[in-house]
Copies of this chain bind each other. A is one copy, B any other.
Amino acid sequence: MGGDLGPKAVVEGIGYALKRWPERQTRYLLHGDEAALGPLLLKHPKVAAVCELRHSDTLVQMTDKPAEAVRRARGSSMWNAIQSVKSGEAHAVVSSGNTGALMAISKVILRMKKGIHRPAISANWPTPKGHTVVLDVGANVQCGATQLVEFAIMGEAYHRAVFGGEHPSVGLLNVGQEELKGNDIVREADGLIRNSGLDMAYKGFIEGNDISAGIIDVVVTDGFTGNIALKTAEGTARLVAGWVREALTSSFFAKLAAGLLALGALDRLKRRMDPRYINGGVLLGLKGIVVKSHGGADGEGFASALGLAQVMAKSDFMSQIRKNLDKFASFEEQDIAAAS
């Protein structure tokens, strides 16, 4: 029911997902207002054929504060959708709704995995070679060093689960100048990752320009910096796209050129620059798969989030994450024992 376009984006998104991945036999539980969803399904019979509608009387508003949402959410479409993962009816939940509420209700219903303090939101960041996983992109605006280590563990397992790499490389986002080796928390996290015996290809500090370069598989940062980096990149891509568009419409010759380009290359360029194709952040660290679709996503965008949820559900992320979490837990126990 959430997001700027509401149920329309969801139903159309399922339609696009069916077209994009016809081989995946995904079925959907649609939680929401029957009066809104029913007519949409009538218009999209192919979507209706793979959906089961579950009516809910209430919904979480985009403006609800997380704590309020948790108190009032029982029986809402968001609550019921997450509950269907808890009960085992669904393998994953995808929502365009209120991010803070989604996180808070997921924590209440699904609970955190042992050894993880709070969920982190991941983003799949395009590079010339594929994708870099960046986390946290907005769940935790104030992080301690231990949380950054948890993000590294989750991000590494997530990269293996979604992109299938064997030993994804992990970097900690920091500032570049030699004289400024970053703030205390980043330095402490660097020491923790190096010393806690994790099974991880840890590469140390990386800089902002490395994210898009494709030289690192997983970028770890706090939710404040990560959110700003992600949105700054979106803004920059939009700026450059505007310049390209201007260049392609600036004169008769330019328009002719654009016409020639449209025969193929420009379409590919447009698609690459289209954030809808990389939509979907996973709330990592929960005992269940929760995917957040961008609130502004349309059907194309929502389909990308559905595709990501499908890949996560098929993967062994949940078990992959365990080994390093256990290693870190025993390192921390030794550390506490040594200190006392």
Contacts and interface: CB of A to CB of B under 8 A. Distances in A.
A247 B265 contact: yes
Contacts of A164: none
A260 interface: yes
A250 B247 CA distance: 18
State the majority secondary structure of interface residues on A.
helix
Interface stretch (A24-32, A177-185, A326-334): A177-185
A208 B223 CA distance: 13
Can you tell how many copies of this chain the complex includes? Answer: 2
A72 interface: no
Contacts of A188: none
Residue from A210, A211, A257, A263 with most neighbouring chain B CB atoms (10 Å): A257
A261 B265 contact: no
A240 interface: yes
Contacts of A231: 176, 207-209
A142 interface: yes
A239 interface: yes
A108 interface: no
Interface stretch (A79-87, A146-154, A268-276, A282-290): A268-276
B229 A208 contact: yes
Contacts of A175: 138, 141, 223-224, 227-228
Interchain residue pairs A-B with the least CB separation, the first 3: A100-B179, A208-B231, A209-B235
20 contacts: A63-B178, A138-B176, A177-B227, A180-B227, A183-B224, A209-B231, A221-B228, A224-B225, A225-B225, A232-B232, A237-B240, A244-B244, A246-B265, A246-B269, A247-B268, A250-B264, A253-B261, A254-B261, A257-B257, A257-B265
